């Protein structure tokens, strides 16, 4: 199984830190956010990784190189000066990801989730990892019912930014900028969206304050 790390975003909420440094290269506990993912994927036996690039993308490419020192092989998906949003970026990278299911992980989270545990049920076009709601997303995104993602239910949980997709999940999409949520809703309507709840370490590094707090905890 291959993987994609989403690294093209501008990181507006992280300014001024991201004015000169791309968000995935910000460090927590002495390691950049993206380096943590690369090493974790390599340990899980995922050795082919796609990284999408836009804002300050050349800095990411220069820092990571071909990925060999992290135990992976990196291919880059260039998006140009304007990021394509999450779904648009994944869709652009599909030729690099191949015909089999693949992992996608947000480049701005810190987690000890083991990618080796990810499975995609036969009847699902995508499988999402959900976490307990952080303070900044108290209402949650989805619920779970016997492994099926639901739009409503109790408890509501937050999408972690970790998922497995079949290429068919993006069937009918056109090149350009577009988000994931409409595709999630389409899969929900077909009952083709599965999920699991993870209760280990997970943090969304969305603001300088959250980055500082996490850094202090992981020193």
pLDDT per residue over 58-93, tens digit each?
A: 999 999 999 999 999 999 999 999 999 999 999 999
Helical spans, DSSP H, in the chain: 33-43, 57-64, 85-97, 181-189, 208-217
Closest C-alpha to 9, from 104, 87, 83, 73: 83
Q: Locate 61 and state its tokens.
A: 């490419």
For 174-201, write each residue's pLDDT tens digit.
Answer: 999 999 999 999 999 999 999 999 999 9
- d(C-alpha 129, C-alpha 164), whole Å: 9
Number of domains in the chain: 1
Mean pLDDT of the chain: 92
With H, G, I as helix, E, B as strand and everything else as coil, classify residue 89: helix
Could you tell me the sign of the dihedral formed by the alpha carbons of 122, 124, 126, 127, in that order?
negative
Q: What is the DSSP string of 40-57?
A: HHHHTT--EEEEEE-TTH
Contacts of 97 (CB under 8 A, 6+ apart): 2, 4, 50, 167
**206: domain range?**
2-217
- Please give the pLDDT value at position 211: 74
Provide the CATH number for the domain around residue 42: 3.90.550.10
């Amino acid at each position: 199984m291959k993987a994609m790390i989403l690294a093209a975003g501008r990181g507006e909420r992280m300014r001024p830190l991201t004015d000169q440094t791309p968000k995935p290269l910000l460090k927590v506990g002495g390691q950049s956010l993206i380096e943590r993912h690369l090493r974790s994927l390599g340990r899980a036996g995922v050795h082919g990784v796609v990284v999408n690039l836009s804002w300050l993308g050349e800095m990411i490419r220069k820092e990571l190189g071909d990925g060999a020192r992290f135990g992976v092989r990196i291919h880059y998906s260039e998006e140009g000066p304007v990021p394509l949003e999450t779904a648009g970026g994944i869709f652009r990278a599909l030729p690099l990801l191949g015909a089999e299911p693949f992992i996608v992980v947000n480049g701005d989270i810190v987690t000890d989730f083991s990618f080796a545990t990810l499975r995609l049920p036969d009847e699902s076009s995508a499988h999402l990892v959900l976490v307990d709601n952080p303070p900044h997303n108290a209402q949650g995104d989805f619920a779970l019912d016997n492994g099926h993602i639901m739009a409503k239910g109790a408890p509501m949980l937050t999408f972690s930014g970790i998922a497995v997709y079949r290429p068919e999940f993006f069937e009918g999409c056109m090149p350009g900028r577009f988000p994931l949520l409409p595709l999630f809703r389409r899969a929900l309507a077909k009952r083709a969206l599965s999920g699991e709840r993870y209760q280990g370490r997970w943090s969304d590094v969305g603001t300088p304050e959250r980055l500082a707090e996490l850094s202090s905890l992981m020193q």
